[in-house]
Amino acid sequence: MPALRFVVSGRVQGVGFRYATRRMAEQLNLSGWVANRPNGEVEALARGEAAHLARFEAWLWSGPDSASVSEVKVETAPADSDSADTDTDTADFRIRV
């Protein structure tokens, strides 16, 4: 399955962005993870059907109501790109701490 890495900038930390992202990913039947980055961005890796990934990307541009997204960077990720998170079960979407 295709995998994409997203980096979301703007007011995206402290507004429930990771939790809303997980809910959206689960609704779209995507697997992967989402995490805050030290620089204030949010990073996500999502795997699933191309159409669902496109809907996920479109949603990231708005996020939850309390967020203000200024940019979403997207790049293709290798299928095994969870290597930094060895306890991630690829059958679900997790929030990384």
| Residues tagged active-site | 18, 36
Query: What does the DSSP assignment read for the chain?
Result: --EEEEEEEEE-SSSSHHHHHHHHHHHTT-EEEEEE-TTS-EEEEEES-HHHHHHHHHHHTT-STT-EEEEEEEEE--TTTTTT-TT--TTSEEE--
